[in-house]
């Protein structure tokens, strides 16, 4: 069972936030401060408060999330996910969409790169010693567009990530493919930053096209860190979705 946190448990409308890889639930601090709803937050397996569990697969992570919803007696909920958290939501849309009230899918890569899988083992072996170095974490945090105020949390949590977790996350991310076309829902929103890599921009547009009635939003002057790069804009989007 994943460790998780519930904020404003007395509220009726509920959201669950799913983080990106290498980042903890602290990444949602701007949303926590702005949204007056019941909020469920957790660290991915292999991360932060759940570092005692290795990340295995996206499907296994989804089953962990559904277990949380069962414990909270929740049948439908608004999902908000970033990066691999966005991929997790897309997997839910494809295989467990009955749980979805709304979905905010932020920077979800949808481009299988199976050719790179054989390189994962050597990449992880080279990366693991570097992950423990502050200077390397500084470089990685810039790739994630993390503000300086979040760096210490990022570095602390990066020290907890195991070789197994890192390898599995890379494999799941590189082999992920979202093909769902049956979900027809106007409460599903795909968001991407205008300064993200081309592959991410293309993925976001393709994802929106796969679900008729869904929305596509490109936020200007942001890269791969919308929840903390453009928190006000994201919060406004979420609030409007909850109003409908």
The domain spans of the chain are 4-243
What was the pLDDT predicted at 116?
81
Mean pLDDT of the chain: 95
Please tell me the distance from the alpha carbon of residue 3 to that of residue 53, in angstroms, as a whole number. 10
Q: pLDDT by residue (tens digit) across 44-87?
A: 999 999 999 999 999 999 999 999 999 999 999 999 999 999 99
Query: 80: closest CA among 120, 119, 42, 137?
Result: 42
User: Per residue in 121-144, pLDDT tens?
Assistant: 999 998 899 988 999 999 999 999
- What band does 94 get if pLDDT is binned at 50, 70 and 90? very high
Give me the sign of the Cα torsion angle 70, 23, 35, 238.
negative
Q: Residue 20 in contact with residue 82, Cβ under 8 Å?
A: yes
Segments in 96-225 forming alpha helices (H): 120-131, 134-143, 151-158, 163-175, 198-210
More confident residue, 115 or 108: 108
Whether residue 114 has pLDDT greater than 90? no
Q: How far apart are CA 210 and CA 182, in angstroms?
A: 8
The C-alpha atoms of residue 241 and residue 31 are separated, in whole angstroms, by 14
Residue 112 confidence (pLDDT): 83
Contact by Cβ (8 Å): 87, 111: no
Which pLDDT score, from 0 to 100, does residue 179 have? 86
Sheet with 4-7, side-by-side order of all strands = 4-7, 38-42, 14-18, 77-82, 100-106, 188-193, 215-219
The yes-or-no verdict on residue 6 having pLDDT over 80 is: yes
Helix (H, G, I), strand (E, B) or coil at 161: coil
Give the model's confidence band at 218: pLDDT under 50 very low, under 70 low, under 90 confident, else very high: very high
Model pLDDT, residue 117:
86
Q: Is the pLDDT of residue 181 over 80?
A: no
Query: Tell me, what's the pLDDT at 183?
Result: 79
pLDDT confidence of residue 14? 98
Contacts of 179 (CB under 8 A, 6+ apart): 94, 210
Whether the pLDDT of residue 163 is over 90: the answer is yes
3-class state of residue 232 by DSSP: helix
The class level of CATH for 4-243 reads alpha beta
CA dihedral 210, 211, 214, 218 (to 10 degrees): -20
Q: SS3 helix, strand, coil % of the chain, rounded to 5?
A: 50, 15, 35
Task: Return the H-helix or E-strand segment holding 87.
Answer: helix 84-95
**H or E element in which residue 144 lies:** none
Distance CA 226, CA 73 (A): 30
């Amino acid at each position: 069972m994943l460790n998780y946190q519930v904020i404003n448990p007395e509220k009726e409308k509920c959201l669950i936030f799913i983080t990106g890889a290498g980042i903890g639930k602290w990444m949602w601090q701007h949303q926590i401060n702005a949204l007056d709803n019941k909020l469920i937050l957790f660290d991915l397996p292999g991360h932060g408060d759940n570092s005692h569990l290795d990340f295995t697969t996206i499907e296994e992570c989804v089953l962990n999330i559904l277990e949380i919803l069962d414990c909270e007696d929740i049948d439908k909920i608004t999902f908000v996910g970033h990066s691999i958290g966005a991929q997790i939501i897309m997997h839910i849309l494809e295989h467990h969409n009955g749980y979805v009230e709304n979905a905010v899918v932020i920077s979800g890569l949808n481009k299988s790169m199976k050719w790179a899988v054989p390189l994962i083992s050597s990449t992880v072996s080279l990366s693991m010693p570097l992950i423990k170095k502050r200077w390397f974490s500084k470089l990685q945090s810039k790739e994630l567009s993390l503000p300086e105020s979040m760096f210490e949390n990022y570095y602390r949590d990066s020290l907890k990530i195991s070789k197994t977790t890192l390898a599995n996350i890379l494999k799941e991310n590189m082999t992920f493919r979202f093909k769902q076309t049956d979900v027809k829902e106007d409460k599903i929103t795909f968001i991407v930053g205008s300064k993200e890599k081309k592959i991410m921009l293309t993925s976001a547009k393709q994802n929106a096209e796969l679900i008729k009635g869904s929305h596509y939003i490109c936020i200007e002057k942001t890269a791969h860190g919308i929840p903390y790069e453009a928190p006000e804009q994201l919060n406004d989007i979420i609030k409007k979705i909850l109003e409908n």
